[in-house]
Amino acid sequence: MSVFSHREFDNHQQVAFFKDKKTGLKAIIAVHNTNLGQALGGCRMWPYATDEEALTDVLRLSRGMTYKSALANLKLGGGKAVIIGDPRSQKSDELLYAMGDFIEGLGGRYITAEDSGTSVPDILKMSQRTSYISGVDKASDHGGDPSPSTAYGVFVSLREAVTYKLGRANLQGLRVAIQGLGNVGYRLAEYLHEAGAELFVTDIVQANVDRAVGELNATAVAGDKIFALDVDVFAPCALGAAINDQTIDQLRATIVAGAANNQLATTDHGQLLHNRGVLYAPDYVVNAGGIIDVYYQRKMLSADYSAENYASDLSTKVEGIGTTLKEIFARSEAENLPTFVIADRVAEERFNSATNCWQPTRSNAPMATQSYSKSV
C-alpha cells in the first residue's frame, strides 16, 4: 500500500499504522499539518472493504481537518484516525485500550475525539491509556459529545445559504432532503422542523427514519431516490462522496449544505455545481461546530478558563460559521470561482503563513520515529 504516491496524499506530515494481533485492532492515524497547533480530529470505526479504502478515507479526512480548523480560526492542526472494523460487532474494551496506546505513541502530535462508529464512552476508554483525547468533558452541555455543536453549526450554515441564495428571511416551508439521520443528521432535522421546514429523509437504519417520520412529520424516502427530489436544499449527512458521477445529474436542489465530510467525490463535481448555479456550502466550513466544541473543552483544562468562558466562546464561534460562509459566497460570486476553491484559498493562507508550528518536546516526543507502528 503506497502512501507517498497515493492520490489523496497532500504533503501529510505523518501517517502511522498500527496492528494489534491480540485485540484485532487495525488502525491508521494521519496527521496532515500542525502549523497552527496540535492535530485534532475524530476517531472513526468503519468496516472498510479494503485497507486502501481506509487509507483514502483517513488521508482525505485529516486534510479536511486542517482546513476546517483554519477556517474556524482555531489554533489547531488537522489529523484523523480510522479503525478498520464493524463497530457493532468488533468493538471491545481491549481494542479501545490498544487504540489509546497507539495514540499515546505519537507523543501528542494527534489528539482524538469521537466520530462515526465511536462514542464518548469509547473515547473515555482510550483515555485510560492516553491523555491526548477531547470531547469528553462533563462540564460541557452534552457531557463532551460534540455532535450537538456540529448539528447546530450545520443549521446555522444552511440558514445562511438559504438567505444568500434564495433571499429568504426564514425557513418556514423550506423543502430539505436529508441523507443520513445519525447523531448530527437527526439533530439537524430537529432544528429544521422547529424552524418550519418540510423534511424528506433517508437512512440505512430504518429505525432512524421511522423516528423522524413519527416525531418530526418527515417524509421517508427510499435510498438513492433522495437525490432526485424537487427540494430547495440537499443535506448530505452520511459518509462522503455523496456528490458523484451517478448523483450529480439527479440533483434538483439549488443548495447543497450538510454535515458529511468530503461531500464532493472529486473537485470536478464542485466545479459542475458552480457551473449549474447550485450553491455548495463547503463541508469543512459547515461542520466545524464539533471541532470548535472540543477545542474549547480542551481549554477548560487550564485553571484560568471556566465553564462560563466555554459556553460563551462556543456560542460565538459556532454562530460565526455563518459569517465565514457569507464571505465565501460573496467572494465566489465576485470572482466566478467555486465556493470550495475560495474556502481552500482562505484556509491555506492561514495555515501556510503560520509560524508557530507545533513541535513535540522531551515530555511528549514520539517513542521512536514519527512513523510509529506496532504489531504484536
- Give domain status of residue 362, yes or no: yes
Exposed e or buried b per residue across 52-89, where buried means at least 16 C-beta atoms within 10 angstroms of its C-beta: eebbbbbbbbbbbbbbbbbbbebebbbbbbbbbbebee
Whether residue 366 sits in one domain with residue 263: no
pLDDT at 308: 87
Q: Do 189 and 137 lie in a common domain?
A: no
What digits encode the pLDDT tens for the residues 293-310? Answer: 989 888 887 778 888 888
Q: Mark whether 113 and 200 lie in a shared domain.
A: no
Tell me phi and psi for residue 219, to 5 degrees.
-100, 125
Domain identity same for 130 and 278: no
Give the domain CATH number at 170.
3.40.50.720
> Is residue 1 in some structural domain?
no
Q: Is position 304 within any domain? A: no
Cell numbers for 351, please give them: 495555515
Q: Looking at 26, 68, 80, 125, which residue is catalytic?
A: 80
In this predicted structure, the answer to whether residue 33 has a pLDDT above a threshold of 70 is yes
The total number of residues shown for the chain amounts to: 376
* Residue 174 and residue 125 share a domain: no
Range list of H helices, the chain? 51-71, 93-105, 120-126, 147-166, 183-194, 206-216, 267-275, 283-286, 289-299, 307-335, 339-352
pLDDT at 351: 93
| 16 membership: H or E segment, kind and range | strand 14-20
pTM of structure: 0.83
211 and 339, same structural domain?
yes
Question: Residue 337 CB: number of other CB atoms within 10 A?
Answer: 14
On whether both 238 and 192 belong to a single domain, the answer is yes
Residues 115 and 166 reside in one and the same domain: no
Phi, psi at 25, each rounded to 5°: -70, 125
Statement: residue 364 has pLDDT above 80: no
Q: The domain spanning residue 85 has which CATH number?
A: 3.40.50.10860
Q: Is 374 a catalytic residue?
A: no
Domain count within the chain? 2
* Co-location of 152 and 277 in the same domain: yes
Range in 230-234, 261-265, 366-370 with the lowest mean pLDDT: 366-370
Q: Are 182 and 116 in contact (CB under 8 A)?
A: yes
- Residue 299 falls inside a structural domain: no
Q: Is the pLDDT of residue 338 over 50?
A: yes
Same domain, 126 and 175: no
Is the confidence at residue 131, as pLDDT, over 50? yes
Residue % of the chain over a pLDDT of 90: 79
Report how far residue 282's alpha carbon sits from residue 120's, in angstroms, rounded to the nearest whole number.
27
Domain-embedded: residue 8: no
Is 49 inside any structural domain? yes
Determine the average pLDDT of the residues in 165-182: 97
172 and 35, same domain (yes or no): no
Is the separation of the CB atoms in 47 and 38 below 8 Å? no
Residue 208 belongs to what domain range? Answer: 147-288+319-350
Does residue 314 sit within a domain? no
Look at 311 and 227; give whichever has higher pLDDT. Answer: 227
262 contacts 286 by C-beta, under 8 angstroms? no
In a domain, 6, yes or no: no
Angle, helices 289-299 vs 147-166, to 10°: value is 140
Residues 190 and 329 in one domain: yes
Q: Measured between alpha carbons, how far is 367 from 106 in angstroms, rounded to an integer?
A: 7
Contacts of 122 (CB under 8 A, 6+ apart): 43, 91, 96, 114
